[in-house]
Amino acid sequence: MGRLDGKVAIITGAARGQGEAEARLFASEGARVVLGDVLDDAGQQVAAGIGDKAHYVHLDVSSEADWAAAVDAATAMGPLRVLVNNAAIIMPAAIEDTTLDDYMKVINVNQVGTFLGMKAVLGPMRMAGGGSIVNISSIDGLQSKNGLISYTASKSAIRGMTKTAAIEWGRFDIRVNSIHPGGVNTPMGNPTNDPRAEKEPYQFQAIPRIGEPVEIAHAALFLASDEASYVTGAELSVDGGWRAGQVTPGLPGTDFVVEYGYESA
Catalytic residues, which ones? 151
CA dist 154 and 161 (Å) reads 10
Paired strand residues for 134: 84, 177
Please enumerate in sequence order all residues whose Cβ is within 8 A of that of 223, keeping only pairs 6 or more positions apart, or say none. Answer: 132, 134, 175, 177, 179, 231, 236
Paired strand residues for 235: 178
Q: What phi and psi, each to the nearest 5 degrees, are found at residue 84?
A: -115, 110
- Burial (CB count <10 Å: 0-12, 13-18, 19+), residue 130: middle
**Residue type (1 letter), 65:** A
CA dist 128 and 146 (Å) reads 43
Do residues 166 and 233 lie in contact, with contact meaning Cβ atoms separated by under 8 Å? yes
Q: Is 51 helix (H, G, I), strand (E, B) or coil?
A: coil
CA dist 111 and 114 (Å) reads 5
